[in-house]
Amino acid sequence: MDAGAVRRRFATSAVARAKRRGLLRNAAVVLGNSGNRDAVAVLARSLEDETEPLVRSHAAWALGQLGGVRARTTLERRRKPEPDPDVSAEIEAALAAARSRVLAVHPELAGRRVVLYAPTFRGRGAGKRAAPGMDAPKLRAALPADHALVLKTHPNLDPDATATAGYDVVADPTGDINDLLALTDILITDYSSSIVEFALLGRPIILLVGDLATYEVDPGLYLDYRTEMIGTQVVDTDGIIDAIATGQVDLSGYPAFIDRQLGASRGGASARFVDHFIDGQRGLGGGGVTLPPDVRHE
């Protein structure tokens, strides 16, 4: 709604006193306190497209509260083009918020380059096991002192299944990985969906996939790792060490990969659903959607 539409809609209500910018500011505060990262898309649109600085600054604050990779990429993208100094200050504060949350738990990461190993598991059910191929003590010995090697295992895997020797930090397996990803400089993983989120940051990804031939058969992959995947693929710890030491990480394929994986995730899904399945049906003279016999409107 524009300002005129808000005035007309709430003309006889006390809500009108807040005006459009006040309503949107309050909505941003509610979303920021909700803890629901599904709100990131609408807050991102407000930060990038809203004309009112008051609304943009509160959208930035809310993104900082929600945290995660998508919130961070939105904030970083808006840093330079933002014309209002107050909004710029709120963006900087929001960018620092996620980092502060992680550092409050792991202060030993402050001022260090974070190398995160976050693999998925192998096997099923009671037969789940840790990913093979990582020699953490060997990698730690090869990394400079200002690098921190962090382990984040899959939440559905028994933490005791993965050796923890060699890591500077062992993150809580059940914790949210998004803030940790936002703090990460280099991600080492394998077949994890975290690749898609981390790609948004445009930072190096190293894929430890020595068992690719086996994994693509069972349980299988939804894309061809040899032709469609980004990052640098290695088969052992020596490959990881070499990729980090030489900086041989190709970022050229990131934009196309992100578009393939996230191009349809542009926000507004609920509105598009209503347009297509409800309003669209009415436009065809259908009088709305016909519900199955066991479903009723209450």
pLDDT of residue 298: 47
Query: Which region holds residue 10: left if phi is over 0, alpha if psi is between -120 and 50, else beta?
Result: alpha
d(CA 53, CA 265): 26
**Single-letter residue type at 137:** P
* Structural domain boundaries in the chain: 3-105, 111-262
Span 98-111, pLDDT tens digits: 789 889 999 999 99
Instruction: Determine contact, residues 131/237, Cβ cutoff 8 Å.
Output: no
d(CA 59, CA 127): 45
- Joined together, the tokens standing for residue 5 give 């539409």
**Beta-sheet strand order (sheet of 113-117):** 169-170, 147-151, 113-117, 186-189, 205-208, 232-234
Q: 3-class SS at 297?
A: coil
Q: 3-class SS at 145?
A: coil
Residue in 234, 228, 13 with CA at minimum distance from that of residue 119: 234
d(CA 178, CA 171): 12
CATH number, domain 111-262, options 3.40.50.2300, 3.30.300.30, 3.40.47.10, 3.40.50.12580: 3.40.50.12580
d(CA 36, CA 102): 18
pLDDT of residue 297: 43
Please give the CATH architecture assigned to the domain spanning 3-105. Answer: Alpha Horseshoe (1.25)
Q: Which regions in the chain score pLDDT beneath 50? A: 284, 286-289, 291, 295-298
pLDDT of residue 9: 66
